[in-house]
Amino acid sequence: MRKKVIAGNWKMNKTLEDSLKLATEVVTIANDEVNNNVQIVMCVPFTSLYAVSNIVKGTKVALGAQNCYSKPSGAYTGEISAEMLKSVGVQYVILGHSERREYFGESNALLADKVNIVLATGMTPIFCCGETLAQREKGIHIDFINAQLTDSLFHLAPADFQKIIIAYEPIWAIGTGVTATTAQAQEMHEKIRNHIASKYGTEVAETIVIQYGGSMKPDNAKELLSCKDVDGGLIGGASLKARDFIDVIKGA
């Protein structure tokens, strides 16, 4: 049985002081209210990683980063390597978020390199995929997502592929307040799992955690997370308030 994984993506929010306050609140409430059947991850800004790592150490909450560079080290001013992240206690790294793809031009080929380096460093990639509203309306969204998975992940050996978490994020539902219906979410998660099975077989596909990442909130989390193939959430806005984030987690 797949364990539910709920990851909060703080994006470019929270100063160091704000991060310490929020992380402490989440850890405190989680220890009291959340059972061990749910893995909680907080993906905080680079500037807060080390400080937050000391707060989450030994708790139910794991530390995540929002990105890393595709090379192990070198003259890449302003970038952060996977080894640097690992050294401050990071366990999960978000890769390929639609905002990275859109604003920074990240390609499937580049993301394949990032996946490789995160796995080699011993951390877990949270690999994002998803379609725009235009792609959905044209009926090409399934082929588009399949290409994202194939181009960035299908070079992996089965043992490495099973270390990946996939986050399906309908771009038309990120930060818009619009959420996919449970039927839409389940359909896409099932399609993704079927595509994985076409390459790696059903046994491997059934082990892969597939999160939903489009405006999951306390009032819809339980319904979305009840879907057969929805194994958690990649949470944006609702992760910026401790009570909201915990209430999403409790929906699992």
In the chain, where the domains are located: 4-250
DSSP result, 210-237: EEE-SS--TTTHHHHHTSTT--EEEESG
Alpha-carbon dihedral angle through residues 106, 188, 236, 156, given to the nearest 10 degrees: -50
Q: What is the pLDDT at residue 57?
A: 96
pLDDT for res 214: 83
Could you count the other beta carbons within 10 Å of the beta carbon of residue 83?
15
* The Cα angle at residue 62 between residues 175 and 87, in degrees rounded to 5: 110
Summarize pLDDT for 92-131 with one digit per residue, the tens. Answer: 999 999 999 999 999 999 999 999 999 999 999 999 999 9
**Could you read off the pLDDT of 135-183 as tens digits, one per residue?**
998 999 999 999 999 999 999 999 999 999 999 999 888 777 777 889 9
Determine the pLDDT at residue 1: 78
Confidence bin at 200 (pLDDT 50/70/90)? very high
Q: Identify whether the C-beta of residue 126 lies closer than 8 Å to the C-beta of residue 93.
A: yes
Provide mean pLDDT across the span 4-26: 98
3-state DSSP assignment of residue 121? coil
Q: Where are the beta strands (DSSP E) in the chain?
A: 4-9, 38-43, 61-65, 92-95, 124-129, 165-168, 209-212, 232-235
**Paired tokens of 138:** 């044209």
Q: Which residues are the active-site residues?
A: 97, 169
- CATH fold of 4-250, please? TIM Barrel (3.20.20)
Q: How far apart are CA 154 and CA 228, in angstroms?
A: 24
Q: Which amino acid does the sequence have at 46?
A: F
